[in-house]
Each structure stands twice: as structure tokens, then as C-alpha cells.
Amino acid sequence: SAVISQKPSRDICQRGTSLTIQCQVDSQVTMMFWYRQQPGQSLTLIATANQGSEATYESGFVIDKFPISRPNLTFSTLTVSNMSPEDSSIYLCSVLRRGGDIQYFGAGTRLSVL
């Protein structure tokens, strides 16, 4: 299994500010993803984090709002910019190992925007 450290585990932020979430994996992985889980709902894919290049965003998500970095094979960050109460969600980092068929998840970051 892959050990994923996601920080912070939770935060309460003011409207208009930004928060950066970090995801650190204990070994090299081929693919890293960021998901959003709104209260009481399912997981929605935000983007695929690509090493050394721009992330690939899903429909409805844009780089200006959710900038993502992945400087190496084991680390990625997701920033939630110019936050509003509608951004209150759980944000999850997820990874696939090389050749693996199992997707691992971090413990998530619970974000509340006031």
C-alpha cells in the first residue's frame, strides 16, 4: 500500500483568502489526482496532477481557481483560491502506483469557508 500524508487535515478560512493543501506520498507514483467531496455527496475529480507540467482539469474546474503543482513524483499541492462558502468541502489527494490497479487516498482536508 501507499502511505499518503495530506496536510492540513482541516482548516477554517475567511472568504477571499487562499489555502494550499499538500500531498506527500512515501514512494514514487505514476498518477496523482485531486478530488472534491462536498458535504453529503460523492467524490468529484478536480484534476490530474502532472509532474513538471500543467495539471489536466476536469470540466467545471479551472486553473485560476484551483492551481496545482507537482514538482516531483511524490509531492503535489492544490490551492483553493479566492475562497467562498461554496468551496467548503473535503479535498482528497489520490495516487496510482506504477503498474498498480489500486487507487490510494489521503485522509482528506476538511475545509470550511466563513
Partner 1 sequence: AQTVTQSQPEMSVQEAETVTLSCTYDTSESDYYLFWYKQPPSRQMILVIRQEAYKQQNATENRFSVNFQKAAKSFSLKISDSQLGDAAMYFCAYRSGLLNTNAGKSTFGDGTTLTVKP
* Residues near partner 1, by CB under 8 A: 30-31, 33, 37, 41-45, 48, 90, 92, 94, 96, 101-105, 107-108, 110
Q: Shortest distance, CB of residue 103 to partner 1, whole angstroms?
A: 6
Cβ distance to partner 1 smaller for residue 81 or 90: 90
CA distance 91 to 9: 10
Tally of CA atoms within 13 A in the half-sphere of 114 that contains its CB? 4
Q: What is the 8-class DSSP label of residue 86?
A: G
Q: Shortest distance, CB of residue 21 to partner 1, whole angstroms?
A: 14
Q: Shortest distance, CB of residue 65 to partner 1, whole angstroms?
A: 20
Beta pairing partners, 13: 113
Cβ distance to partner 1 smaller for residue 76 or 94: 94
Cis peptide bond upstream of 67, omega within 30: no
**Cell reading at 65:** 481557481
Cβ distance to partner 1 smaller for residue 38 or 84: 38
